[in-house]
Amino acid sequence: MTRAEKEQLIAELSAALGESNAVVVCDYKGLKCQELEKVRHLAAENGVHVKVVKNTLATLALRNAGIEGLELKDTNVLVWGEDQINTCKVADKAATEFKDRFVIKSGALEGKAVDLGTILAMAKLPSRDELIGMLLNVWMAPIRNFTIGLDALRKKREEEEA
Beta pairing class for 103-109 and 22-27: antiparallel
Give the integer Cα–Cα distance in Å for 36 and 33.
5
Mean pLDDT, the chain cut into blocks of 10 residues (162 residues total): 88 90 90 90 92 90 87 88 90 90 90 88 85 89 90 91 80
Which residues pair with residue 49 across a beta bridge? Answer: 80
Chain centre distance of CA 103:
15
pLDDT at 131: 85
Closest Cα partner for 107 from 126, 124, 122? Answer: 122
pLDDT at 89: 92
Q: Which helix (H) or strand (E) holds 158?
A: helix 128-161
Q: Judge contact between 39 and 78, C-beta under 8 A.
A: no
pLDDT at 41: 94
CA distances from 112 to 35, 69, 109, 123, 158 (A): 29, 8, 5, 17, 65
pLDDT at 71: 80
Range list of β-strands (E), 6-87: 22-27, 48-52, 77-81
26, burial (CB in 10 Å: exposed 0-12, middle 13-18, buried 19+): buried
